[in-house]
Amino acid sequence: MIALGEILIELNALSPGPLRHVSYFEKHVAGSEANYCVAFVRLGNNCVYLGRVGEDEFGHNAIEWLRGKGVDVSHIKFDSSPTGIFFIQRDYPVPSQSESIYYRKGSAGSNLNPDDVDESLVKSANLVHSTGITLAISETAKEAVFKAFSLNEVRSFDTNIRLKLWTPEKARETIMRLLKVHPVKYLITDREDAEILLGKVEDPVKPLMEYTDVLIMKEGPHGASVYYEGRKHFSHGYSVPVRDVVGAGDALGGTFLSLVTSGFPIEKALDYAVVSSALNVTIRGDQENLPSIKDIETFLERVRNS
């Protein structure tokens, strides 16, 4: 897989509550597409990351981490702007929920541009992936996604609309244009994003299926549904101790894509992906608890026996 996006340094509040009263922050490497990449590698596939980091300690941090995880970082470029960061506020104002505070405007990652998209590399990939975040961070990053999607027909896309990065109108216009020009094989979304894209409709599934072969509709702690070839399959979620929900959706999407890439049947891939998502919320950090197949099966067996 090739993923285009922005790697971020995450500063996760060590204690819950409003950030003004949080004294300590724990550093992680994050960024939606990077999360997808690590999920890919963790489950036995390869992933090339396309993006930019600052030529600073945080940039080196991100590259060393991803290389350690087995991601192909040879196409990541250094940029003179700083590596983007964000803070995670946990359990406030809503317990068991998290909020992201970005410091990524003008970041290295947002300087991703079409020239960074190596044509032969993208053409040779078995899957090209990006998300709504990359469309939102800058004009050049958006164009890079459009270019990459134009070079390879096997595409996946996670809507991941962040209203701190753009308006709903801009999100709708851009994402729908992308999907119209470059329909995808896999579309990952949830009901909130679907409402932004389609407005209030009774059933967002049907209109979305026009742009994708396989549609994943995430439903938070309840689980997720997959729609494909006229069929629907629902995988229920699991009750686990929640420490930070950020990254759960990427865990689900990345696990799903990696497993179907490995030849898993779609429904089983989603069942497993929902486990991955459940494991993800039990820790701070988006990538540290991305599971192997064996981990997922151990979990399922233990759940069955208890």
- The set of catalytic residues is 250
In degrees and rounded to multiples of 5, residue 113 shows phi and psi of: -145, 170
Cβ–Cβ under 8 Å, residues 112 and 51 = yes
Q: Does 228 bind a copy of itself (CB under 8 A)?
A: no
Kindly tell me which residue out of 46, 61, 100, 150 binds a copy of itself, with binding defined by CB under 8 A: 61
Q: Shortest Cβ distance from residue 227 to a copy of itself (Å)?
A: 23
Cβ–Cβ under 8 Å, residues 31 and 109 = yes
Kindly tell me which residue out of 113, 140, 150, 282 binds a copy of itself, with binding defined by CB under 8 A: 282
Q: Shortest Cβ distance from residue 306 to a copy of itself (Å)?
A: 7
Site residues for a copy of itself, window 86-125 (CB under 8 A)? 89, 91-97, 101, 103, 105-106
Q: State whether residue 284 is helix, strand or coil.
A: coil
Q: Pick from 282, 217, 208: which is nearest to 252 by CA?
A: 217
In whole angstroms, give the CA distance from residue 272 to residue 287. 16
Cβ–Cβ under 8 Å, residues 198 and 208 = yes
Q: Does 25 bind a copy of itself (CB under 8 A)?
A: yes
Sequence-ordered list of residues with C-beta below 8 angstroms from that of 126, at least 6 positions apart, any chain = 1, 154, 261
Rg over alpha carbons for the chain, rounded to the nearest Å, is 18
Q: Does 46 bind a copy of itself (CB under 8 A)?
A: no
Kindly tell me which residue out of 31, 109, 237, 285 binds a copy of itself, with binding defined by CB under 8 A: 285
Site of interaction with a copy of itself (CB under 8 A): 11, 14-27, 56-58, 60-61, 64-70, 82, 85, 89, 91-97, 101, 103, 105-106, 220, 238, 240-243, 278-279, 282-285, 288-289, 291, 294-296, 298-299, 302-303, 306
